[in-house]
Structure 1
């Protein structure tokens, strides 16, 4: 795949998780945004910002502070830039009985403590950034 050309690729859970976490940190995104399990591979192409994550199984995570259930597919892709992930695929947030896919995540710049999730249906939800802090 051309979009994976020149990528930094890490195999295995520990190395993959380390790369994913360091990218979130570098691009000023909350460290708990991707609660991954059984990571197979994480890749990142610095020139385009393209990132992919493969995990063995789908993960559902409940962000307790905001009572939000989020589903992470076995394949997650997107484009990472400062305080934003665009063209995100493989992440869905439960809204009542629907699971609309999340297409973009943006953290306010300058920081206001808010993070915005935009679904492909055009719905935007705003939450406190600290709801996505890394689990201790």
Structure 2
């Protein structure tokens, strides 16, 4: 099995996304996680098991050669999606979803008005 160790050597929580599944796992300062990927039967020669991408929201670990990956903390306990997700992140995501829902409702109203205008011509 392929694995990669991640260390949060900062003073702030760090978001880790495991792709292509999009799961988020949040590391406290000085915390260590290990991502373990199940190897496929016959991985192509020369392929790398992970790509790591740093971005404004945190770090994405792209699992290239497996169908499943598991995240473990420094004690070896499995870490699930949403682990230690900060409250302010949760609130921002909920607010974004509500705004998107309001936008969809407004768009539906505009579409209905446009349809009605076309039908009345």
The structure that has the greater radius of gyration is 2
TM above 0.5, one fold? no
TM-score, normalising length from structure 2? 0.26
TM-score, normalising length from structure 1? 0.23
